[in-house]
Structure 1
């Protein structure tokens, strides 16, 4: 029994990872916005704080962050799997290495949640620093990924 994929399916798989990553980048920007709103809520006082609390930014930030973590891990594994399926090897270069680094960093950042919930400011500062670093890498990854997609299209 052969599990060989048709050329059309193999070609189409090339675009699943990039599409997922662009959606993930948009979600990451939204999570950053929510995180900033959480910080604003924490620092606000009086009526402003009451209004901001109604936004439930902490809950939304936590939920979106959980989705981002899951999609980042799945997207990293999926991107490597599709590359291997289509080429029989991985291309070790800046895009792959930065993506693997981002996946590790986001797991580390998420692991700080229990400490932040207990009020540890060092965890909050580390979480913010890691996430903005990941976001910067992610923006670079998006553009280097477009170059890869254009290469795939030109070979079709």
Structure 2
């Protein structure tokens, strides 16, 4: 590869993290919907409604999407940190980075609670609470991340 190609990759690599994170934000909201439908399937007394909801397999779809979200969140967090380091020669220790790392940890805790949720109401409530906090933090990260993207664009 020549220097121009490497520089182009270096510059555009900075946009992978924010683009994927916006997609994850939307998918996380969809995962919340799937989780709510899964709970509805589990708790409804209407047998006909329950049959219809079971056919839609909300529980497995929620579980599978959550697994994908966890993997992509961890990898994309690392990509964002790597792109920042490659392009700036350092990581900027600020609220966006610290909250993002904290969110990655919370995401893994929420996922780790999954096997315990079937028989433990505390695990289920903890899982839901952590994910609601994550969704709020994700919204805040989206705003602060766009400020960072604007700074990157201004430096181009």
TM-score range, shorter chain: over 0.9
Q: How does 1:27-46 map to 2 (within 5 A)?
A: 27-45=27-45, 46=47
Supply the distance in 1 between the matched residues of 2:43 and 2:134 (Cα, whole angstroms).
Answer: 25
- Residue 8 of structure 2 corresponds to residue 8 of structure 1: yes
In 1: Cα distance, 2:27 partner to 2:51 partner: 26
SS state of the match for residue 86, structure 1? helix
Q: Distance in 2 between matches of 1:47 and 1:72?
A: 37
2:114 corresponds in structure 1 to 113
Equivalent runs, 1:42-81 vs 2, <5 Å: 42-45=42-45, 46-81=47-82
How many matched pairs? 153
Mind listing any 5+ residue stretches in structure 2 that lack a counterpart?
A: none
TM-score relative to the length of structure 2: 0.94
How many Å apart are 1:7 and its aligned residue?
2.2
Q: Distance in 1 between matches of 2:15 and 2:34?
A: 29
TM-score, with structure 1 as normaliser: 0.94
Deviations 1:9-49 (A, max 9, x none): 11100101111101111110110000110111111121111
Structure 1 segments unaligned to the other structure (5+ residues): none
Aligned to 1:128: 128
Verify: 1:150 aligned to 2:153, yes or no.
no
Equivalent-residue separation in structure 2 for 1:140 and 1:133 (angstroms): 11
| CA drift at 1:74 | 0.3
The alpha-carbon deviation at position 8 of structure 1 amounts to 1.6
What is the alpha-carbon distance in structure 2 between the residues aligned to residue 62 and residue 56 of structure 1? 10
Q: CA RMSD in A?
A: 1.5
Aligned to 1:93: 94
d(CA) in 1 for partners of 2:109, 2:70: 10
